[in-house]
Structure formats: structure tokens, C-alpha cells
Chains A and B, each alone.
Chain A
Amino acid sequence: MITKNFQRVYIWELPVRIFHWVNVLAILVLITTGLFISNPLAILSSAEASEIYWFGTVRFIHFTAAYIFFFNMIFRIYWSFVGNKYASWRAMLPLHKNWFENFFHVLKVDILLQNEKNPEFSDISVGHNNIAGISYVVLFLLALLQVFTGFGLYSSTSQWWLPQLFAWVVPFLGGDFMARTLHHIATWGFILFIFIHVYLVFYHDWLEGRGEVSSMFGGYKFVNKKRINSKKKSKKIVETEKI
């Protein structure tokens, strides 16, 4: 019996990987400091207020991380136009009919855990599968909401033109109350995303053994040779052995 003839495929280019990990750090810092700002711990000190500035520092870290998050996101948008096909914006949006085929395939096999009698090689996702792809679009929209409400709230304490671009957001929403509420709720969206994202990455790595987890470090995934040679939908190669 032979194991799969896996081939090493370069999927995630270095800029994509750097984006990913900067994004991870920024989001973790933003969630932690953000929840902390919304409900600070009761830390007592006998020092005078003029001697302490830790809460100001927490907010400073939040704002710094927000800028990093923002520019990192801008960079990723740029890279989705110049990067390889797995980094492209086209890989995430439902642009053609085939998109839904993969979407429902992943839904059936990986989310609803159905088994296929005759798996097709062309169904193997190489970059993002399409459920993952659309989840990043949702995350991107959440990120936009955070950027708009966050910089909107920040704008009245800043002179720089960049936050000022978002100064209209707070009046548009009717005031700080709504802006803060949305900012806070969207944070929970990020938390839920992290749970699901990390779990599914582990799930794929554990089930398929194609280096899903390590691909975001080295950039490589392992793909069945037959998938690499299979033409999209033109020639369906029905597997005779197990994938």
C-alpha cells in the first residue's frame, strides 16, 4: 500500500504570511485592550494620579495596534491585486458558478461531515476553500466596521487628517453611543471568528495531513499529485483508492 504522492506547492507568499501574523497580533492586542477599556480592572494604588498613567497606556496601545491593523489591512488589499492567485481577491468572492460547487462541497464534507463514495480530485481545495474565502470577506467587512467606528470615535481627539477622514461616522450614526455599541459588538464577531477559524485549520490539518497549520509559516501545502495535474472540471479523475 502506498501513501499519497503529495507534492509541495507554494501557496502563501511571504507578504501574505507576514500580513497574517501581524494581523493576528494586532487583533489579539486590540481585543484584549478593547475589552479592558470597556471594563477596566479595579487596580488600586496609593500613588497620586499624576504618578500613574497605566490606563492611558492601555488606550495608547489600543490606538497604536489600530493603526498597525489598518495599514496592514490596506497592504493586504494591495496584495490581493498583485499577489499570486491564492492571495487574489478573486479567490474569496463568488464570481462564477464553480465557486458554489466548491462552497457546497466543503459545506457537505467538512462542515456537515458527510462522506463521499467517489471523491473527485478537482474538489480538493488548494488555497482557501470557498467557505474560508467568504469567511474572510465577512471578517473584512467586520474590520471595516471597526475601522470606521473606531477612527470615528478617535477622530475628535486627533488632529491628523487620516482619523479626520472618519469624523463623519459618529454624526452619521447619531452619536458616540451607537458608534461604541457597534464597535463593541463587532469585537465579539472577531472573537467568534477566531474560535471557528483556528478550529477549522486544526481540523483540516488533522484530517487531511496536508500541512494546513504549517502552511502559514513556511508557505507550503502538500497537494495530491493528481489534483495538480487535474484540469478544472474538464476531465474528472475518479479516484480508485482513498484520497
Chain B
Amino acid sequence: MATKADVKETYYESIINHGYSRRDFMKFATYITAYMGLETTMIGQVAKALETTYRVPVIWEHFQECTCCSESFIRSDHPIVSEILLDKISLDYSLTLMAASGHQAEAAKHATMEKYPGEYILCVEGSVPLGDDGNYCCIAGRSAKDILLESAAGAKAIIAWGSCASNGCVQAAYPNPTDATPIHKIIKNKPIIRVPGCPPIGEVMAGVIVHLITFGKLPQLDGLGRPKAFYSKRVHDSCYRRPYYDAGLFAETFDDQNAKDGYCLYKVGCKGPMTYNSCGTIKWNNGVSYPIQSGHGCIGCSEENFWDNGPFYERMTGLAGFGIESSADTIGKVAAGVVLGGLAVHAVAANVSKRKELEGRASRGIENEKKIDS
């Protein structure tokens, strides 16, 4: 639990107090500036901001989720990220990471909410079930919706971590039995940053937090409320296998020679061409790899309704309401067959129905033909 004295410490001070050197701090500033997609000239500004900004209290709520977002975050590859941003950021309430438990933990959260109204950042991991009075997710005897409304009321900004909080993810997939709802559909009066992904990349999460605390304002967001620095490009457009796509070289199955040669996974269902994320550039696990690099297509985990967007291993365009097996092409082919058949029937019927008219025309035409001297 952060005391008032703790919070009146700048990020820089707390980093130094934690035993890091100024050099480590500058490395961190450089690294995080690069991840935020800022120019090198901004490094000084980021460092300055970290030196002069007092640490911002953070409440991190967990609802319907699997904690993969937290797991991803604490594995972001610079130690200062987890040390400072989690341990020292004044993470006043996080079910997974806080030391306190039970009533103590709840008391800590309420203390933060009362002490810093309009100042703290609310991070939400997980969706909120609205079905059956919200009984599907209760913490300390209260429904997730209640808790969210309470902690959102005094928040400066809300970060919706992961696909659960930004899109609903698997629990919101059809038929969505608990009526799992993403945060932006419940809270309308606060700035919300959506950071989708299952989970989002740890460095992306760190970048978003650092942007918020260093500049005191939201990063630039796209039309879906995602930070542009990380979600403005398709995985496909930054994929190292893109040259194979442009060359028309595709793996047909996962065990053919083309797959072994590392060809494009477009035809085995890679969702990279529809998915906006930084996997192709930032990658995972300290930049080691990402799904496509290890031979598996992108499953589009950072896109809305990705569980309902058809099978992971097919390129078909799924159509809800027409059964799982039908695609736009199947329906199109059937429709084309029906139309062509209908036209053939029409042609035959027209010959029968318009027979007199046709005969009259034909005979008059032939008559005229006979009158012409050849």
C-alpha cells in the first residue's frame, strides 16, 4: 500500500533508490521511447518527465480473465518495467501482485480512491459479465460491474488490458452465456485506452503506461481506441514472411515443403492480413519470436470477436447465421447455380409463352427476306 510519502517521489528518485544507476535509467528511457514509437529527440523529454513527475497511483482490477495480461506485463524485457512500474508504480491494488489480502487489500484500494480522486489510473483486466445481475463474477461479495463502476468513478483514465477488457474475448464468444461485456461499453464518461491482444505484448503495455505517466495524457488513439504507436499496422504489413506473400509462395499445408521453407501462411488461415498489432516488429519474449516466426499463422487475437471469426486454419470468410461450415463462397456458388438454373428455366418458358409473338416476327422477317432481290 502506497503511503502519501511514497507517492511524493518521482519515478527517477524511486528508480535510483531502487539501486539502479543513472546510466540504467537513461538506457530505460531510450528503450521505452523507442517502443512508444517516438523519435530519438524525445528521449530527453521522456527522461525529464520521469525525473520530475510524481508517481501516479494505479488500481488494477481483475474480472473475467486468465491473468495472461499480467503475466505478459511482468515479462516485459527491461527489469525497470516490472520493478518500477509494478512494484514501485504504487500498484495499490492488484489481486495477483499485491502483498495484502482480504479486508486489508480492499481497504488499501479504498484508501487510494479516497486519497487521489481524479488522479489514479484504473487498469482493467477482464470483461464484466452483465447477465444475471452480474453474479458470474464476484469479488469480496460484490459483482464485477459494481466494483468497476466504483473504481472508475474517480479514475483519471482507464486502460482496458487485453482482448477481454477491450473486446470481450472468449467468454464473449457466441453465445456469450454470461453476457460478458468490454469496458468501453459500460464506462462512457472516462478516457479509455484499449490494448487488445490475448495477451497484449508486455512492451506494448509498458509503453502505454509510460506514455500516460510521463506525458500525463493519453497516447494517440486510432478509431477503435487503440494506441496508434502499436496498433496502426497489420501484422501482415510488418511480417518478415511478407515477401513470400508478394511472390505468391504459400504453404498449402503445415507439413509440406513450402511450410518447411518458411513460405507465407496465408492459405493455412493466417489472420495477419486482418490483424492490427506489433507482433511483427516488437515480437515476444524479449524479441525472440512471434507466432508466424515459429510456423503458426496469426489467430487474430487482438481483433474484435476473434473467436467467432471462423476457424484458425482456414482462409474462409465465415458467415454467422448460415452454419459453421458455410462460407461466403459456398453460398455464392449455390446462389449462382440457382440464378443460372432460374434463367435457363425462364429462357425455356419464354420460348413457350412468347411463341406466337416470335413466330409472327420470324415469318414477317422471312417474308421480307424473300422480297429482296439477291
Residue positions of A touching B, CB distance < 8 A: 1-3, 38-40, 42-45, 49-56, 58, 111, 113-115, 156-157, 167-168, 170-172, 174-177, 180-181, 184-185, 187-188, 191-192, 195-196, 199, 203, 207, 209, 242-243
Contact = CB atoms under 8 A, between A and B. Distances in A.
A184 B336 CA distance: 14
Nearest to A167: B223
A196 to B, nearest CB: 6
Contacts of B329: 38-39, 184, 188
A177 B224 contact: no
Interface in B198-247: 222-224, 232-234, 237, 243-247
Contacts of A1: 364, 367
B367 A157 contact: no
Nearest to B362: A209
A176 B275 contact: yes
B249 A181 contact: no
Given A177-B303, A180-B317, A172 B223 contact: yes
11 contacts: A52-B248, A156-B237, A171-B223, A174-B305, A176-B273, A177-B300, A177-B309, A180-B274, A188-B331, A195-B343, A207-B357
Given A3-B368, A38-B317, A50-B243, 10 more contacts: A45-B249, A55-B248, A115-B356, A156-B232, A167-B223, A174-B224, A184-B328, A192-B339, A199-B347, A209-B361
B75 interface: no
A6 to B, nearest CB: 12
Nearest to A199: B343
Contact of B234 (A55, A156, A167, A243): A156
Contacts of B266: 40
A61 to B, nearest CB: 13
* Dominant secondary structure of chain A at its interface with chain B: helix
Nearest to B258: A44
Contact of A195 (B339, B354, B356, B368): B339
A44 B335 CA distance: 32
Contacts of A49: 243-244, 246-247, 249
A175 B224 CA distance: 8
A42 B248 CA distance: 8
B141 to A, nearest CB: 35
B365 interface: yes
Given A176-B273, A188-B328, A39 B368 contact: no
Contacts of B346: 111, 113, 199, 203
A175 B274 contact: yes
B47 to A, nearest CB: 32
A97 B305 CA distance: 46
Contacts of B267: 39-40, 42
A171 to B, nearest CB: 3
Contacts of A38: 315, 317, 329
B360 interface: yes
A157 B242 CA distance: 14
B319 interface: yes
B250 A203 contact: no
Contacts of A3: 364-365, 368
A58 to B, nearest CB: 8
B304 interface: yes
B231 to A, nearest CB: 10
Contacts of A58: 248
Contacts of A111: 346
A170 B328 contact: no
Contacts of A199: 343, 346-347
B367 A177 contact: no
A192 B243 contact: no
B103 to A, nearest CB: 41
Contact of B336 (A53, A156, A192): A192
Nearest to B244: A49
B303 A196 contact: no
Contacts of B244: 49
Contacts of A156: 232-234, 237
Contacts of B349: 113
B123 to A, nearest CB: 23
A207 B355 CA distance: 10
A204 B250 CA distance: 46
B97 interface: no
Contact of A113 (B252, B315, B354, B358): B354
Contact of A56 (B246, B339, B365): B246
Contacts of A50: 243, 247
A14 B35 CA distance: 57
A223 to B, nearest CB: 16
A181 to B, nearest CB: 5
Contacts of B300: 177
Contact of B332 (A40, A168, A180, A191): A191
Given A177-B304, A195-B336, A113 B223 contact: no
